[in-house]
Structures are given as structure tokens and as C-alpha cells.
Structure 1
Amino acid sequence: MVQTERLLGALCKADVAFVVIGGMAAVAQGSSYVTADLDICYQRQPRNYERLSRALQPFHPQLRGAPADLPFILDAATLKAGLNFTLTTDGGDLDLMGEVKGLGDYEAVRAHAEEVEIYGYPVLVLTLAGLIHSKQATGRPKDLRLIEELQALQALWTESQQKER
């Protein structure tokens, strides 16, 4: 199981520019979805590559599903050369996304994010609308099943906002 608190703590303490996406974002927005990993969209800038790679080094990141003898070092050069990485770490499975289907790169994803406190850390999290849009774009069966719940949460949020007026 993913150790979300440890991973988020390391990312926040290193001042990594990222947005929580995927299942953990859905949970932060009130979903009952059960997730076994942490997905983030990271800013693709040299300083952020350095911060991200340094933050994750204590977790010994390796490519998930790759042969055990495949050499892999997650450093700034690797992050710059790649885009999306599915990793296994000492803190659990972590997906690093340079782009999110249906939304785009970090800047576009950030425009669909809001700050939420998770385990005491203020982090940017994809909004319900952003989650719905990205899940629709992927078209995966597990994402399509989640959309209905996300839409219901969005309707409840809209209703509560209207009552406050």
C-alpha cells in the first residue's frame, strides 16, 4: 500500500511543483475510491527535476514492471529525457506524469487544481471538474466507473454553493 503521507511530505519539504491527480485526488475531493498508488503531475523545469529527484532518492525509486536487472537512476537527466514514469518505491507505487490526458502539461493541470490539506501538507489537487475531464479522456473502464461518483460529488458541491447564496 502506498505511504501517501511520507511521499507527500518528502515532495512538499523539497518544494517540488506538483499536482495530485488520479485516485488520491478523487479521495481528497470526497470519493470513496480505493487507490493503491499516488499519481502526480510534475512541472517540467530543470529546477523541479532536481527537487523531484532529490526528494525521491530516499525511497529508492525503480521502474514498475521492468526487469530487476535493468539499470535505472531517477535523476534530473532521466526526468528531462522522459515524460511519464510508473515507479515502485519504498513508500509504495508512485506515478509521475509530465502530462495528463485530456488536460495537458503541469501548467494546464495546475489551472484545474485547488489547494487541499492532506496529512497536514497544503498540496494542489485536481478539482472534481478536472478529474471528470481527465477520466473521460482516458476512457479506461475503471475511470469510466469513477466518473459517475465524481459527477454526483460535483452536483452536491454545486447544490451546497447555491444554498449558501
Structure 2
Amino acid sequence: MQENAPDFGVILEVLAKHEVDYIVVGGVCAVLLGAPVTTFDLDIVHSRSARNIEHLNAALEELEASYREHLPRKMMPDAQALQNTGHHLLLTRYGPLDILGAIGDNDGYEQLIAHCEIINLGQERIIRILDLETLIHMKEKSARSKDQAMLNILRAMQTM
């Protein structure tokens, strides 16, 4: 499994290769919006359609993803689990990947898609990320100290 620094670019490439529909949220989203922060995992909210779950499972297999809390035993999420709104905290060959069925007030892919920006990472890698306003709104709802700490940085970005 992953032993070096995370390579989120490779994870995004594999998701694109398998045509997975998702939105980048969390720390990587903040970085892509220009926030000077460090993050150690890639958080995505995925479409829970049956077709997309098939694509996501194929990508997870290629990434050799397994639940972090079950290590060293390798246990992958199944299709039924991925159709729920829960969180799947995985470790891949390229770093931690958190797959979220919903965030905030149970907002899933379909609710968040209208609040996205499209980012071109080059080499035909086009991804969706939450817009700054929505990311701030989600962080405001969180009780986690790391989310609260990021709020000042994100709010400062609004005035730039």
C-alpha cells in the first residue's frame, strides 16, 4: 500500500480513466481554489447512480483501495455500501481517498453539482470542485477543529 507522499494526481487520473462522476471537496478542493493549506487525503462526493458505482468500483480495484480502519486486512467497499450516504475512508496505492456519499445537510452529488467549478488540470484531466462559497458553508457546519481552522483562510480568499 501507499508508503510515500500521497499522489492525488494519479488518483484523479484513475477516476477519470474509469469515467467516475464525482466532486472534489475538502482540503484538496481548498488547495485547487488557491488556499495555502496542506492536506493529507483526497475527499470526493460521488454520484450514487448504479452506472457510476460500477465505474467507481473498477477505479477502486485499480487503485487497490481498502478501508483504512481494517488494515492490515484488505477490505474494499461493495456496491451496496457505495450507494449509501456514508463515508468510506480508504487507503490506495497512491494515498488516502475518502469517498463521501453526502456532506453537510446530507447533500449528495446531485445537490452539490450546481455549486461547482470546473478545473482543467491539463492532459485532459477536467474535474469538478466545490465553489468557494459552498466550501465555506460546508466548513461552517462542521464541528471539526481542522475545518474551523481553515475557515479564516477561506474567508480571507473571498476578499481577494
Q: 1:81 to 1:155 in 2, by over 3 A?
A: closer
Q: CA RMSD in A?
A: 1.7
TM-score, normalised with respect to structure 2: 0.89
1:111 to 88, 94, 114: 114
Whichever of the two has the greater Rg, that structure is 1
Counterpart of 1:79 in structure 2 is: 82
Counterpart of 1:140 in structure 2 is: 144
Name the CA distance, whole Å, in 2 between partners of 1:83 and 1:45. 15
Name the CA distance, whole Å, in 2 between partners of 1:19 and 1:62. 20
Give the partner amino acid of 1:112: H
Which SS does the other structure have where 1:109 is aligned? Answer: helix
Q: 1:153 to 1:102 in 2, by over 3 A?
A: farther
Q: CA deviation at 1:81?
A: 5.4
Q: Percent identity?
A: 32
Equivalences, count: 155
Unaligned residue ranges in structure 2 (runs of 5+)? none
TM-score, normalised with respect to structure 1: 0.87
Q: What do residues 114-145 of structure 1 show as CA deviations (whole Å, max 9, x unaligned)? A: 10123541100011101101111112111111
Q: 1:82 to 1:72 in 2, by over 3 A?
A: farther
Counterpart of 2:61 in structure 1 is: 57
CA contact under 8 A between 2:57 and 2:79: conserved in structure 1? yes
